Amino acid sequence: MIISRPFWEQLLNNAWEKRTVIWLMGVRRVGKTSLCQSLSNIEYFDCELPSIRLQLQDPEAFLESKRGKKIVLDEIHRLDNPSELLKIAADHYRDVHIIATGSSTLGVSKKFRDTLTGRKSELWLTPLLIEEMALFKNNDIRHRFLFGGLPSFFAETTIPQKFFQEWIDAYWAKDIQDIFSIGKRNAFQKFAELLLANSSGLFEATHYALLCEVNRSTIDNYLDVLEETFVVHVIRPYSSHKPSEIVKAPKVYGFDTGIINHVKGRTILREDDLGFMWEHCVLNQLHAHLQTRSINYWRDKSGSEIDFVIGGNDNAVHAIECKFSILSDTQTPKSIAKNFGAFRNHYANGENYVVAFNIDSPFTRKFGDLSITFVDVKNLVQLLKGEKLRSRR
């Protein structure tokens, strides 16, 4: 059964108001096909089928037959020259509205000879959002943590270990081999699994090069591929290069908690896992709603750390700490205020947010001159998006 997903449908409609061609990107099984098929008055074409590829060999004739229509070109990288078709559509058939889907950013695919700069809108479909869980009739956040946010996996009632492994195998066969030139499958897969198992940890290329028995430049290339296919998110340190700050080592997050659990061999959530899983879900919410990868973390050499840092208006820098549960508005760990205080000693301008799952309505607490706002993830996103809207006026 195909489930309507209003949030993403609205983003697609908004994107079509700017451009007639949309590049819908996201990892395999994230729901791109189902989302497209749920749209009304749309024609769907699966480019993996030889009969469809045959139709598309003459782009002008095909587009001429689709005037005034909305169409989906799924897995468009299977065409010999997909950028040619999209470029012709954007320049000469502006009454044809197109969604083209793929599992990577458009620019890195060897099939795309033109990145269509200025001719397309881009939309990044992320794993399942917290507010979408009700659409699948399951509001259990622990289920979301354990099963992950790939819709078909989230909908299962028992942990789909077989499906997780099939996903990993299909990722190599259909995304990596089709799109990239990666020679050593075993080294690449070992690196990917090690990264996922160490999700949210600091990244040191030399360490992984030794473990995977390849050189450092190969590891850097592997990391780029994993990032461009949305399997990992590289979160770089926020810094103005002060001597006391960590300025080089990025943190790498896996894209989905279900895949992370599978790689770690975990089938049961421990209480100690909840904060780790919540941090990943908050990052997913920020990616989806803000549609940006411009998210950093901050750490200094004394050990103070902020989970996520996002730039705002007028040189403001907003600091975000993720806590799965806050016991009450009077029982706030002193370490939270300590971390924010250390950050604000360097960057005074910006808001301080603690985002927790069990907060019903936002509240603010003062710690000396420091103000910290406690929010759920919905209100956090609204506050950040509200500032973005104001900055465009």
In a domain, 18, yes or no: yes
State the pLDDT at residue 314. Answer: 80
| 160 domain residue, yes or no | yes
Q: For residue 354, what are its two tokens?
A: 């603690």
Q: Classify residue 228: in a domain, yes or no.
A: yes
> Domain range spanning residue 271?
131-276
Question: Which CATH number characterizes residue 237's domain?
Answer: 1.10.10.10
Kindly state whether residues 142 and 261 are assigned to the same domain. Answer: yes
Same domain as 210, residue 143: yes
Helices 161-170 and 257-264 pack at an angle, to 10 degrees, of 100
Q: What is the pLDDT of residue 393?
A: 33
- CATH number of the domain within which 35 lies: 3.40.50.300
SS3 readout for the chain:
CCCCCHHHHHHHHHHHHHCCEEEEECCCCCCHHHHHHHCCCCEEEECCCHHHHHHCCCHHHHHHCCCCCEEEEECHHHCCCHHHHHHHHHHHCCCCEEEEEECCCHHHCCCCCCCCCCCCEEEECCCCCHHHHHHHCCCCHHHHHHHCCCHHHHCCCCCCHHHHHHHHHHHHHHHHHHHCCCCCHHHHHHHHHHHHHCCCEECCHHHHHHHHCCCHHHHHHHHHHHHHCCCEEEEEECCCCCCCECCCCCEEEECCHHHHHHHHCCCCCCCCHHHHHHHHHHHHHHHHHHCCCCCEEEEECCCCEEEEEEECHHHCEEEEEECCCCCCCCCCCHHHHHHHHHHHHHCCCCCEEEECCCCCCCEEEEECCEEEEEECHHHHHHHHHHHHHHHCC
Cα–Cα distance for residue pair 236/251, rounded to 1 Å: 6
Q: Which residue from 138, 106, 143 is spatially nearest to 122, judged by alpha carbons?
A: 106
117 and 165 inside one domain: no
Classify residue 104: in a domain, yes or no.
yes
Cβ–Cβ under 8 Å, residues 56 and 77: no
Q: Which of 124, 148, 178 finishes a domain?
A: 124
Greatest CA separation found in the chain?
A: 69
pLDDT at 116: 83
For residues 313 and 197, state if they share a domain: no
Shared-domain flag, residues 167 and 60: no
Residue 284 in domain: no
Handedness of CA 229, 235, 240, 243 (dihedral sign): negative
**Same domain flag for 164 and 66:** no
Residues 363 and 383 in one domain: yes
* Measured distance CA(196)–CA(118) in Å, rounded: 34
- Residue 97: phi and psi, rounded to 5, are -100, 125
**Is position 320 within any domain?**
yes
The span from the CA of 302 to the CA of 243, in Å, is: 11
Say yes or no: 240 and 355 in one domain. Answer: no
Distance CA 109, CA 30 (A): 19
321 and 260 fall within a common domain:
no
Q: Is the dihedral of CA 229, 232, 237, 238 positive or negative?
A: positive
* Closest to 329 (Cα-Cα) out of 369, 359, 370: 359
Instruction: Report the domain count for the chain.
Output: 3
Closest CA to 203 of 187, 185, 226, 183: 226
Tell me: do 171 and 212 sit in the same domain: yes
Tally of CA atoms within 13 A in the half-sphere of 24 that contains its CB: 29
In this predicted structure, what is the pLDDT of residue 106?
A: 65
Same domain, 378 and 267: no
The answer to the question of residue 299 being in a domain is no
Q: Give the burial string for 182-204 (b: 16+ CB within 10 Å, else e).
A: beeeebbbbbbeebbebbbeebe
Chain-centre distance of CA 168, in angstroms?
17
Are 111 and 151 part of one and the same domain? no
Residue 108, pLDDT score: 58
Q: What is the residue-level pLDDT of the chain in tens, covering all 393 positions?
A: 788 999 999 999 999 999 999 999 999 999 999 999 999 999 999 999 999 999 999 999 999 999 999 999 999 988 888 989 999 999 999 999 999 998 887 665 666 666 788 899 999 999 999 999 999 999 999 999 999 999 999 999 999 899 999 999 888 888 887 677 777 888 999 999 999 999 999 999 999 999 999 999 999 999 999 999 999 999 999 988 777 776 788 999 999 999 999 999 999 999 999 999 999 999 999 999 999 999 999 999 888 999 999 998 888 999 999 999 986 544 556 778 999 999 999 999 999 999 999 998 999 999 889 999 999 999 999 999 887 544 433
Do the domain assignments include residue 295? no
